[in-house]
């Protein structure tokens, strides 16, 4: 299984109401982007209020501690995993310096992190963690002492950062969002009444009854303060956008729109293309919950093969804390998912999943389906084979661990126990409107956008 590294959210209420509850509900919606830790920081113009910690949104926040989060500006964050060895990366990160306070929430990975951090350290900066957000915050604090405004400082720093970043910064009286020039990670602007929101995914706006206004464009900075909402084009159009195509395949919720495209519709269309590329005779099409479901629907629509709910998901399993032997991992898969014997017994099943990483999960799933009575399992994968790791913050393991690097397609098929195996061809992305000149597909092609310049 892959994991996205983070989700961010910000809110600014021009009417002066407290924004914490909206941020809480928004983070709930973004929970799939990170289950390791979460936090909210609010600003009531007198002081900052922080609640953050390890755990899920419903574990960290309570009615009581949410009540302490007063203020009309706020920032929230959910974190999947942490790149450093320490545990100090829980965001948002708050810091105080000569210009007051600064709070930052970030999704992404800075690829020139070591170089920039070493530069700061040689100038006397002290770090609490190896969090990229902390390093960016330090850079903004330094830049702020040399510029006229917080937004200017953010834009100055953004020019020096390489890699992927969607960042929300809260200064004493401003909320500022910035997205890297490639736009790797999604970030949108929404509005309800006189309250404006930033969020990693538009689904977060739906739950708080806000309307999506626009995406923060790749390279754009947006500032919200008492003067209103101001857009800065500073980094826009400097490079060809390269939004993460895997957001459509796996990371994002199906009810989100990324840069105007429906994630749900993209998945249905990809499922249709998957059938056209890898047809097979079978009795039922089964999707692996949750991200495989809509691909399976598309596959069923296009093929005319009946769609069946062949796997039941236990919705109450949160983070998988079970690690260790393959046997224990198999049990962990069975706790999360169980085969629905009535839907698959004696049948030839097309099993549709978003990707194969190491191959262990697919092998366990196929065993589950076969143990549930399926006669044959034809595995269909709604993305091309993973061949490269991701330097932009998505948790794809080292190349050597990727099934498609270690084996050819038939080798993978045998190792996972499938009767046949088919992957989505790269060209199918373009046919569903995800054009290669707008999207990063480096984990499939090795064409890292910032190395193509």
Nearer Cβ to ligand SF4 (232/246): 246
User: Do the beta carbons of residue 349 and residue 284 sit within 8 Å?
Assistant: yes
**244 counts as binding ligand SF4 under rule CB under 6 A:** yes
Nearer Cβ to ligand SF4 (244/421): 244
**263 counts as binding ligand SF4 under rule CB under 6 A:** no
Binding to ligand SF4 (CB under 6 A): which residues in 367-426?
A: 390, 392, 394
- Closest CB 392 distance from ligand SF4, rounded Å: 4
**245 counts as binding ligand SF4 under rule CB under 6 A:** yes
Q: Which of 33, 303, 442, 450 binds ligand SF4 (CB under 6 A)?
A: 442
Distance between CA atoms of residues 353 and 341, nearest Å: 19
**22 counts as binding ligand SF4 under rule CB under 6 A:** no
**5 counts as binding ligand SF4 under rule CB under 6 A:** no
Distance between CA atoms of residues 81 and 4, nearest Å: 8
* Active-site choice (6, 38, 390, 443): 6
Nearer Cβ to ligand SF4 (74/449): 449
Q: What residues does 104 pair with on adjacent strands?
A: 93, 169
**443 counts as binding ligand SF4 under rule CB under 6 A:** yes
Nearer Cβ to ligand SF4 (152/259): 259
Query: Hey, how many other C-beta atoms are within 10 angstroms of the C-beta on 434?
Result: 21
Q: Is 6 an annotated catalytic residue?
A: yes
Q: Exposed, middle or buried, 279 (CB in 10 Å: 0-12/13-18/19+)?
A: middle
Q: Which of 165, 184, 248, 299 binds ligand SF4 (CB under 6 A)?
A: 184
Nearer Cβ to ligand SF4 (290/447): 447
Stretch that binds ligand SF4, among 151-159, 278-286, 335-343, 437-445 (CB under 6 A): 437-445
Stretch that binds ligand SF4, among 276-284, 286-294, 375-383, 439-447 (CB under 6 A): 439-447
Q: Which of 61, 198, 232, 246 binds ligand SF4 (CB under 6 A)?
A: 246
Query: Hey, how many other C-beta atoms are within 10 angstroms of the C-beta on 193?
Result: 12
Catalytic positions: 6
Contact footprint for ligand SF4 (CB under 6 A): 184, 244-246, 390, 392, 394, 440-443
């Amino acid at each position: 299984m892959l994991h996205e590294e983070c989700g961010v959210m910000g809110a600014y209420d021009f009417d002066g109401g407290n924004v914490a509850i909206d941020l809480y509900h928004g983070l709930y919606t973004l929970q799939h982007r990170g289950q390791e830790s979460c936090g909210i920081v609010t600003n009531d113009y007198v002081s900052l209020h922080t609640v953050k910690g390890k755990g899920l949104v419903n574990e960290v926040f309570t009615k009581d501690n949410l009540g302490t989060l007063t203020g009309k500006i706020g920032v929230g964050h959910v974190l999947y995993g942490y790149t450093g060895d320490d545990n100090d990366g829980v965001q948002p990160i708050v810091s105080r310096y000569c210009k007051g306070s600064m709070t930052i929430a970030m999704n992404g990975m800075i690829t020139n992190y070591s170089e920039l951090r070493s530069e700061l350290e040689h100038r006397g900066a002290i770090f609490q963690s190896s969090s990229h957000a902390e390093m960016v915050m330090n850079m903004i604090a330094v830049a702020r002492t040399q510029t006229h405004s917080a937004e200017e400082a953010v834009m100055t720093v953004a020019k020096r950062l390489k890699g992927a970043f969607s960042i929300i910064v809260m200064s004493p009286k401003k909320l500022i969002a910035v997205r890297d020039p490639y736009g790797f990670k999604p970030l949108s602007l929404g509005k309800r009444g006189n309250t404006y929101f930033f969020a990693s995914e538009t689904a977060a706006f739906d739950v708080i009854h806000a309307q999506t206004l626009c995406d923060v464009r790749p390279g754009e900075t947006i500032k919200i303060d008492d003067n209103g909402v101001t857009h800065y084009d500073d980094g826009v159009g400097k490079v060809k956008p390269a939004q993460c195509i895997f957001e459509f395949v796996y990371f994002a919720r199906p009810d989100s729109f990324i840069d105007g495209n429906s994630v749900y519709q993209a998945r249905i269309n990809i499922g249709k293309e998957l059938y056209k590329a890898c047809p097979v005779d079978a009795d039922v099409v089964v999707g692996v919950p949750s991200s495989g479901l809509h691909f399976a629907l598309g596959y069923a629509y296009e093929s005319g093969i009946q769609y069946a709910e062949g796997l039941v998901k236990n919705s109450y399993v949160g983070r998988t804390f079970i690690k260790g032997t393959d046997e224990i991992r198999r049990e962990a898969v069975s706790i999360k998912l169980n085969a629905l014997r009535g839907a698959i017994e004696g049948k030839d099943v097309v099993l549709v999943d978003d990707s194969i990483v190491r191959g262990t999960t697919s092998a366990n799933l196929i065993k589950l389906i076969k143990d549930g009575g399926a006669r044959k399992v034809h595995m269909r994968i709604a993305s091309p084979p993973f061949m490269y790791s991701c330097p932009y913050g998505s948790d794809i393991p080292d190349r050597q661990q990727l099934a498609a690097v270690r084996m050819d397609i038939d080798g993978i098929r045998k190792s996972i126990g499938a009767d046949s195996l088919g992957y989505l061809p790269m060209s199918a992305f373009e046919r569903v409107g995800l054009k290669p000149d707008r999207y990063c597909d480096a984990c499939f092609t090795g064409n890292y956008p910032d190395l193509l310049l």
